[in-house]
Amino acid sequence: MVKSSNLGYPRIGEKREWKKALEQFWEGKLKEEEFVVKTDEIRLRHLKKQSDAGIDLIPVGDFSLYDHVLDTAAMFGVVPKRFGHGGGKVSLQTYYGMARGTGDAVASTMTKWFNTNYHYIVPELEGAMPSLADNPPLRYFKEAKEQLGIIGKPVLLGPVTFVKLSKGYDPEEFGSVVDGFVPLYASILKELEEAGAEWVQIDEPVLCTDLTEDEWTVLEQVYDTLIKAAPGIKVILQTYFDRVSRYERVVRLPVHGIGLDLVHDGGGNRQALTTHGFPDDKVLAAGIIDGRNIWRADLERTLSSLKELEGVVSKDRLIIQPSSSLLHVPVTVKVEEGLGERLKRTLSFADEKLQEIVTVTEAVKEGRPSISNELKESYDGLDNIEQSRTLRESEQLAANEVLQRAPFSERRVVQESELGLPLFPTTTIGSFPQTKEVRKERLKWRRGDVSDQDYRTFIQEEIAKWIDIQEKIGLDVLVHGEFERTDMVEYFGEKLGGFAFTKNGWVQSYGSRCVKPPIIHGDVCFQEPMTVDETVFAQSLTEKPVKGMLTGPITIVNWSFVRTDIPRYDVANQIALALRKEVEALEANGIRMIQVDEPALREGMPLQKEKRAGYLDAAVHAFKLATSSVKSSTQIHTHMCYSEFGEIIESIKALDADVISIETSRSHGNLIHSFEENTYSQGIGLGVYDIHSPRVPTLEEMTRNIERAIRVLDPQLFWINPDCGLKTRGPNETIEALVVMVEAAKKMRETVLAAQQ
C-alpha cells in the first residue's frame, strides 16, 4: 500500500536552537558533552515531530553537526593531512577544523550544493586511505529505534555523488577512487540490515547531471555490488533538483526504489514515466510536494498529477514524498504572527509539508472524499493570493530593452582619469562586522524602542567609525559597511514592493550561518531610494571613492522564495528595473562606483548543460538592464562566487562590468587554472583570503595568491580584496586581516613597479 516518506528535515530548529548550540560550543560556552546532549535532544525532537505527523518512512542520518558531505568524509576518515588526524574516529575538533580552519591549517573548500544556496565542504581525496572510521547511520538508526520506537530510513550520500563532489584525483582515476569506498558502503548496509533496517535512502543527485559513459558504467557496477552485499534491505536510489539525465538507464539499476523529483524536473521525469513506463519490480518514490519553495500545495492539481501515473505505477508501489530534503525551507508557519492572514494561509514550510504529504497519501489510499476539508483549505489558500499576482505590462515591455554601454576600453580611460587609483587597488566586498551592539540597536529600532532619528544617528556613527578604520588601514576604495542591513537580500526586499517577510523563516546556508529568504508574492517595484542616504553620508567623510552597494536581480531571485505563476525571468526583470532606478539615483548623487553583487549566479544554473545557455542569457540581460544606463565615468562592479568559471566565461564577459570580484580563496588554484585557458580583459579581483574562516592569513599566503593570479591576469587591471563580505567576522580579526592584505598589495606594487623600471 502507498506510503508517506520524507527525505530530510531542517536541522536548525524552530528558533535556531541548533545554530545557537554550535556557536556556544565554538565560543567555549558549552563543553563538548553538553553540546552533544543538546544536539541529541534537537535530533530526537525532530524525529518525534515527523512521527507525530504520520510519516511512514522517517529519515535518520540526515541530521548533521555542520554539513552532510563533511559527515560522509569524516565517516570514512577522509581528513586532509594538514589537520594531523591520526586515524580512527574523527574528533569534533578535527571535524570543525576542516569546516572552519585552525590556526595552523586552512579550511577545506566550501561550495554550493548543486543549484541551491546551501554550501557543502568539499572532501579532499588526495592521498586518502578511506576506512569505516565511524558508522553514524547505524548509530542514528539504533537511537531512533531504542528511544522513540521508530524504524527509521537511514540516509546516505551515495558513493558516486560523494566522489564527484570531491577533489584531489584525476578524472581517469574516478572509477578506482569510487571502488575504494564501495566495500565501506557495503559494510554500512550489512550492519544496518543486521540492526533491523528495512529501507535505506541513498542520495545520488548527480544522476540529474551530465555523467560520462564511463561514470555510468561505474555507477551500475557500484549498485550491483551494494545490492548483493545486503540482500535483506531495500534501497531507494534518490535523485532531486531536476530530471534524471538518462531515465531508462536509471530505472534498470538493481535497486528496490527510484526517487524522482516531479516538481523541479521541468516535466522531464513525468514525461519519461508516461513514455517509457516504470519497472514492475520497483517502487516509485514520487517527489510530488515542493521541497524548495514555500507555497501551499495545490492538492487538486497534485492528486490529478498522481492520477496520471496510475497507469504507470500501482498504489502498492508508490511512495509520496517531497521533491527534495526539507533542509531548504523554514521549519513552520505557525510561529509567523507578523504575516497577514491572507498570505499566511498560502504558505507551507517543513512541518506543513509533512502534513501535505500525509494528506496526499491518505487521498491516494482512501479517495478524495477522505480529505474534503483539506481540499477546501487548499483552494481557499491559493485563491487568497491571486489578486496580488498581476504583471504590469508597461514594466514588462521595458524589461525587453537592450542597453549597451560604451566599450570597456573607452570607459577605462575615463575612469582612470577621474578615479586616480594606484596599481593593485585595494577594497572590500561591502559589509563590515555586524557586532552584537549593531544587531541589538537594530532590534530595538524595529520594536519601536528607538526613534528613527536616533537609529539613523547610530548607523552614521558606525559608518564614520569604519570609514576612519579603512582610512587608517590604507584601503584605496571604501565602503559604508552595510550596518543598516540584516541581510543583503532581505534589506532590499523590505524597500521594494511585492515582497513579504517572515519572523522565523530561517534556512541553513552553511554551518551555523542561516538566512531568512524574503517571499516574492506580487509585482516587484521601486518605491523610494534604498541606499543613497548611507552611501552619500559615507562619501562625505572621505576623499577616497566609496562604492554604492546593491544586490543584483538574479541573486535576489535565487535567494528568495519566488512566486510561481509567472516565469522567474519576468520576476528578475522586474527587480532589475527597480534596481536601475537606484543605480541612477546613486550616480545622480555623486557616487562614482556602484557594485551590483551577483554571488548567487551559480546556484540558479540548471544541472544539465543543455539548459544553461537560456539561464545565463536571462541573467546577463537582467544585470545589464539594472546597470547599463550609467555614464562611462561611473564604474560598475560586481561580485560573485566561484562557479566553474571556464564554463561561464562568455557570460561573465557579457555582464560588461568594469570590475568583477570573485570568491576564490578556498579554490584559488582551480580558478587560476581557468584563466590559463580563458582570457578576461576587464578589471578583476580574486579573493586573496577566506573570510569564512576566523584565522588571519599570513602575508606570505596573500602574496602568494596575488603572484599566482597576475601570472595569468593583467596586473594593470587586478584588484586586491577579501573573497566575500566581512559581516560575520569579528572586528579585531577583520582589521588584522585587512592590514595584512594592504601590506601585501604594497609589497606587490613595489615588486611590479621595480620590474618595470
Contact present, 6 and 319 (Cβ < 8 Å): no
Rounded CA Rg of the chain: 26
Query: Could you write out the DSSP letters of every residue in 586-611?
Result: HHHTT--EEEEE-TTTGGGS-SSGGG
Residue 641 is assigned to a ligand binding site: yes
Residue 525 is assigned to a ligand binding site: no
Q: Which of 85, 264, 480, 692 does the annotation list as catalytic?
A: 692
Residue 490 is assigned to a ligand binding site: no
Other beta carbons within 10 Å of 659:
24
Other beta carbons within 10 Å of 540:
12
Residue 373 is assigned to a ligand binding site: no
Q: Which residues pair with 551 in a beta bridge?
A: 597
Specify whether 692 is catalytic.
Answer: yes
Nearest in space to 105 (alpha carbons), one of 511, 701, 687, 662: 701
Residue 213 is assigned to a ligand binding site: no
Query: Could you write out the DSSP letters of every residue in 368-435?
Result: GGGGHHHHHHHHHHHHHHGGG----HHHHHHTT----PPPHHHHHHHHHHHH-PPSS-B---SB----
Residue 112 is assigned to a ligand binding site: yes
Nearest in space to 731 (alpha carbons), one of 332, 434, 472: 434
Query: Could you give the strand order of the β-sheet that contains 659-663, starting from the edge strand earlier in sequence?
Result: 547-551, 593-597, 635-641, 659-663, 683-686, 718-719
And the C-alpha cell for 706?
596575488
Q: Which residues pair with 321 in a beta bridge?
A: 287
Residue 117 is assigned to a ligand binding site: yes
Residue 468 is assigned to a ligand binding site: no
Contact present, 240 and 218 (Cβ < 8 Å): no
And the C-alpha cell for 198?
528495512
602 Cβ contact partners less than 8 Å away, ≥ 6 residues apart: 112, 115, 640, 641, 642, 643, 644
Residue 663 is assigned to a ligand binding site: yes
Residue 42 is assigned to a ligand binding site: no
Which residue matches cell numbers 596599481?
423
Residue 482 is assigned to a ligand binding site: yes
Q: Tell how far CA 317 is from the center of its chain.
A: 34
How far, CA to CA in Å, does 178 sit from each of 67, 154, 160?
A: 21, 21, 7
Q: Report the first-to-last Cα separation within the chain, whole angstroms.
A: 81
Residue 708 is assigned to a ligand binding site: no
Residue 208 is assigned to a ligand binding site: no
Residue 430 is assigned to a ligand binding site: yes
Residue 724 is assigned to a ligand binding site: yes
Q: Which residues are annotated as a binding site for L-methionine?
A: 429-431, 482, 597
Q: Which residues are annotated as a binding site for 5-methyltetrahydropteroyltri-L-glutamate?
A: 16-19, 112, 117, 513-514, 559, 603
Q: Which residues are annotated as a binding site for Zn(2+)?
A: 639, 641, 663, 724
Q: Which residues are annotated as a binding site?
A: 16-19, 112, 117, 429-431, 482, 513-514, 559, 597, 603, 639, 641, 663, 724
Q: Which residues are annotated as a binding site for L-homocysteine?
A: 429-431, 482, 597
Query: Hey, which residues are catalytic here?
Result: 692
